[in-house]
A and B are shown apart, each in its own frame.
Chain A
Amino acid sequence: MEGKKRTIIPFGPQHPVLPEPIHLDLVLEDEKIVEAIPSIGFIHRGLEKLVEKKDFIEYVYVAERICGICSFIHGMTYCIAVEEIMKLNIPQRAHFLRVIWSELSRLHSHLLWLGLMADAFGFESLFMQSWRLRERILDIIEETTGGRVIFGSSKVGGVRRDISREKMQEIVRRLKVFEKEIKELSNVFIKDASVQHRLCGVGVVSKEQAYALGAVGPTARGSGIASDMRKLGYAAYKEIAFEPIIESTGDSYARCLVRIKELFQSIDIIAQAAEKMVDGPIDIKVSGTPDGEFFARSEQPRGEAVYYIKANGTKFLDRVRVRTPTFANIAPLLKILPGASLADVPILILTIDPCISCTER
């Protein structure tokens, strides 16, 4: 209706549903959103700038600390970029170990997201069950790397820690049991009427819109785009049989389904990696300094991450640029919000699985 009164409601940076700060100015007509204007930078840490003070070996630790959820994949992607520039041939075992820790990261990230989503629509017991299961994954991560959040296991030239054959078999056995519990949990997300009521048909992004807006990860795959950077074959993914999981409806429910199905896919990938992993060294000695540039891409739980490294032949890099998946998914979020009701905003923001820590690297 022409001449309808518009109201601007500031959403964030402090909001119960946002664990990290992002600010949106929501322009509303009655309860309907007509526009959303984002603002970030509340916790910008300048970690890219820190490359001027840390040499290329030390910077792995900085890269891992960009995010507290997909920390390992950040460190690994940085290492891949440097290794490509230096043309290092990493032992095959290290590649498989990187796949295993990447998929464990994906498992715990998706379970974390499922819990947060359940909490957002007020299903407290489901939230607790999701995080209870996540603890099992964190236990495996702690047993194999010594850390729960920061693994510290990737380095330029390979990995720092090995997983013995016996331990790997035990992990695969535990994940088989875990798979059954995940199935029970996912049944609630998939079949419960109250969950469907909040997610089905809400925040629809068509395949064309998602592609045009540069959506990545489950946000893109939920709209039917079969894009998964693991298909590039980095680490040992070229040895693993898998296909990107896609859904076609493009709504919040579809994005939820993609993440649920990826839990099972990750368990399968870990089992494949454990079976195909060869014995041998886990790292090589790195000598010299990088000279050149490379754009490394990886599939984090939230989608494609890009590391651009430009080196000048000294131990200090010219530039490290990190394009995180959440940054790429802000544009689709701005498309999702108009037309939605104010009450759905927390859910819609969560469906892109925002990680502001990453975005504010």
Chain B
Amino acid sequence: MIDEQSLITINADDLVSQVEKLRNSGHRLIQICCAKIADTIEVNYSFDNNYSFTNLRIILPLSDLRINSVSAIYLQALLYENEMHDLFGVEVKNMAIDYKGTFYRTSFKTPFNPPTDKA
């Protein structure tokens, strides 16, 4: 193993408080990404602190793809959040800047989660 990786699954309601805790303890936001697994979307928030890797995971059902923004805590999160909105159709509430689906210029909407797959 190159580095120890801590993967923690949390509830969507706890996201903002958990991310705030990490920010206050000096973690850097590495990235946010989605993965479509069966009838859910896994949202991964990855953090680094002195080369130590922590990942928070939220599992959203396809029928309710809503999540709170963490861009008030980490400003750069808005880029990842707009990305997950444009590619996966996740609705992110209270983004610092909401491009309203124009951040990525895809030929059809939410290519990683096409409308036919949504519940």
| Chain A contact residues, CB within 8 Å of chain B | 37, 39-42, 44, 46, 48-49, 80, 84, 211-214, 229, 231-234, 293-297, 304, 306, 308, 310, 318-319, 321, 323, 327-328, 330-331
Partner of B105 from A41, A233, A331 at Cβ < 8 Å: A41
Chain A residue contacts of B46, Cβ below 8 A? 295, 306, 308
Q: Are A232 and B3 in contact (CB under 8 A)?
A: yes
Q: Are A323 and B33 in contact (CB under 8 A)?
A: yes
Q: Are B75 and A213 in contact (CB under 8 A)?
A: yes
Chain A residue contacts of B34, Cβ below 8 A? 321
Compute how far the CA of A333 lies from the CA of B79 in the bound complex, rounded to whole angstroms. Answer: 12
Compute how far the CA of A46 lies from the CA of B1 in the bound complex, rounded to whole angstroms. Answer: 29
Q: Find the A residue at minimum CB distance from B29.
A: A214
Q: Are A323 and B106 in contact (CB under 8 A)?
A: no
Compute how far the CA of A231 lies from the CA of B52 in the bound complex, rounded to whole angstroms. Answer: 11
Compute how far the CA of A323 lies from the CA of B7 in the bound complex, rounded to whole angstroms. Answer: 18
Q: Are A295 and B99 in contact (CB under 8 A)?
A: no
Partner of A319 from B3, B28, B35 at Cβ < 8 Å: B35
Using known A-B contacts A306-B31, A318-B35, A321-B33, determine if residue A49 contacts B112 with beta carbons closer than 8 Å: yes
Q: Find the B residue at minimum CB distance from A37.
A: B97
Using known A-B contacts A44-B104, A214-B74, determine if residue A321 contacts B2 with beta carbons closer than 8 Å: no
Nearest chain A CB to B47 CB, angstrom units:
10
Q: Are A327 and B79 in contact (CB under 8 A)?
A: yes
CB-contacts of B63-104 with A (<8 A): 74-76, 79, 86, 97, 99, 102-104
Q: Are A39 and B103 in contact (CB under 8 A)?
A: yes
Chain B residue contacts of A233, Cβ below 8 A? 2
Using known A-B contacts A84-B1, A295-B46, determine if residue A231 contacts B51 with beta carbons closer than 8 Å: yes
Nearest chain B CB to A341 CB, angstrom units:
24
Using known A-B contacts A212-B75, A214-B28, A331-B79, determine if residue A294 contacts B5 with beta carbons closer than 8 Å: yes
Using known A-B contacts A39-B99, A40-B104, A310-B37, determine if residue A328 contacts B76 with beta carbons closer than 8 Å: yes
Q: Can you show 26 pairs from A to B with CB atoms below 8 A apart?
A: A37-B97, A39-B99, A40-B103, A40-B105, A49-B111, A49-B112, A84-B1, A213-B75, A214-B74, A214-B76, A231-B51, A232-B3, A293-B7, A295-B46, A304-B30, A308-B31, A318-B37, A319-B37, A321-B31, A321-B35, A321-B44, A323-B33, A328-B31, A328-B76, A331-B76, A331-B79
Nearest chain B CB to A87 CB, angstrom units:
9
Chain B residue contacts of A231, Cβ below 8 A? 51
